[in-house]
């Protein structure tokens, strides 16, 4: 996983400028490719923010599998974007999320995360996952994870300290103060959510060995993140973006990215999207974690003995 190091003032300024440039390009990309010509999945939060400002109920709308509401904190976080038209607001949100993510990266090869199918899918859907992934790099921003808590939960459990968790609880309390009934309304409307839990998608004779093998690498943050991510409901392919911070080397990053694209483009009616996610993302990440735990460790021990 990533390790932060000391950064000089000039290097910090350079990284900030570079992150801003990449964020601008990401905003342009999202503006051009968003699937609905509006704010994409960020549209619910944007509408909720406007409803809150106008004193309306943000949960008073029809819902179905394609229109699942978000927790109220998502709407609160969207307040700064309400003055803009939907499409521009979505593009600005996605660009800023990408800038934060890029600013947190420490090694040039980690920019390959922007070439992953998970990131491309996030751009077309104007998804929250680049922001959630950035929480791995900036744990103090943990309260932002309440916008999409089921995907942020593995991040919060593996990379967040007590103070950040305390701030998260305070933000949750603030959202309850803004609208005390939002939790009941939200829970009542998430029934049609079409997410899949990767571990439950696998047959038990495969899922049990996977859990045991990953648990054997529990000291590795990447292993913990992978196992916890595989245990929460998710959709394709944007929700898996945080797993691109598991690789520790350029080779691991290239392996994950190429493997995921290969499976995404593979033909076959039997390759449903949950199976593509498992084979193209989770399986390569598991290979990376196990190789680090057993192969690399064994090689290093032999080198020391020699």
One domain for residues 254 and 138 = no
Question: What pLDDT, in 10s, does the model give residues 234-291?
Answer: 887 899 999 999 999 999 999 999 999 998 888 766 567 788 888 889 989 988 988 8
Token pair 């292993």: residue: 223
Q: φ and ψ at 67, to 5 degrees?
A: -135, 70
Kindly state whether residue 241 falls inside one of the protein's structural domains.
yes
Domain boundary pick from 156, 171, 189:
189
Domain boundary pick from 167, 189, 211:
189
Question: What pLDDT, in 10s, does the model give residues 128-176?
Answer: 999 999 999 999 999 999 999 999 999 888 887 888 889 999 999 999 9
Give how far Cα 288 sits from Cα of 116, 138, 201, 212, 281, Å: 16, 24, 21, 15, 11
Domain boundary pick from 133, 161, 189:
189
Say how far residue 9 (Cα) sits from the centre of its chain.
Answer: 29
Query: Which structural domain, as residue segments, surrounds residue 121?
Result: 9-189
Kindly state whether residue 277 falls inside one of the protein's structural domains.
yes
Kindly state whether residue 4 falls inside one of the protein's structural domains.
no
One domain for residues 121 and 156 = yes
One domain for residues 254 and 207 = yes
Question: What pLDDT shows up at residue 158?
Answer: 85
One domain for residues 81 and 135 = yes
Q: How far apart are CA 263 and CA 107, in angstroms?
A: 26
147 beta partners: none
Question: What pLDDT shows up at residue 161?
Answer: 81
Kindly state whether residue 17 falls inside one of the protein's structural domains.
yes
Q: Is 72 left (phi over 0), alpha (psi -120 to 50) or beta?
A: alpha
| Two tokens, residue 96 | 């800023």
Confidence of residue 303 (pLDDT cuts 50, 70, 90): low
Count of domains forming the chain: 2
Give how far Cα 41 sits from Cα of 65, 126, 170, 257, Å: 13, 6, 26, 24
């Amino acid at each position: 996983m990533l390790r932060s190091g000391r950064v000089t003032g000039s290097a910090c300024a350079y990284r900030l400028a570079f992150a801003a440039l990449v964020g601008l390009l990401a905003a342009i990309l999202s503006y051009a490719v968003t699937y609905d010509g509006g704010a994409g999945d960020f549209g619910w939060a944007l509408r909720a923010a406007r409803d809150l400002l106008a004193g309306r109920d943000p949960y008073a709308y029809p819902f179905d599998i394609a229109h699942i509401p978000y927790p109220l904190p998502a709407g609160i976080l969207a307040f700064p974007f309400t003055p803009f038209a939907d499409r521009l607001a979505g593009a600005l949100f996605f660009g800023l999320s990408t800038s934060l993510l890029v600013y947190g990266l420490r090694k040039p090869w980690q920019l390959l995360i922007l070439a992953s199918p998970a990131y491309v899918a996030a751009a077309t859907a104007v998804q929250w996952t680049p922001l959630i992934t950035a929480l791995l790099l900036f744990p103090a921003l943990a309260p932002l994870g309440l916008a999409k808590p089921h995907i942020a939960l593995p991040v919060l459990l593996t990379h967040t300290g007590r103070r950040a968790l305390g701030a998260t609880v305070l933000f949750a309390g603030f959202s309850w103060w803004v609208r005390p009934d939002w939790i009941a309304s939200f829970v009542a409307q998430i029934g049609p959510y079409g997410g899949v839990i990767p571990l439950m998608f696998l047959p038990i004779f495969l899922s049990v060995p996977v859990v045991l093998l990953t648990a054997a690498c529990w000291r590795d943050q990447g292993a913990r993140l992978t196992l916890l991510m595989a245990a929460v409901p998710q959709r394709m392919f944007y929700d898996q973006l945080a797993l691109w911070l598991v690789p520790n080397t350029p080779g691991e990053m290239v392996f994950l990215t190429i493997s995921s694209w290969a499976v995404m483009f593979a033909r076959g009616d039997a390759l449903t999207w949950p199976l593509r996610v498992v084979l193209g993302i989770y399986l390569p990440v598991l290979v990376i974690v196990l190789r680090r735990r057993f192969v690399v460790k064994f090689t290093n021990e032999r080198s020391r003995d020699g």
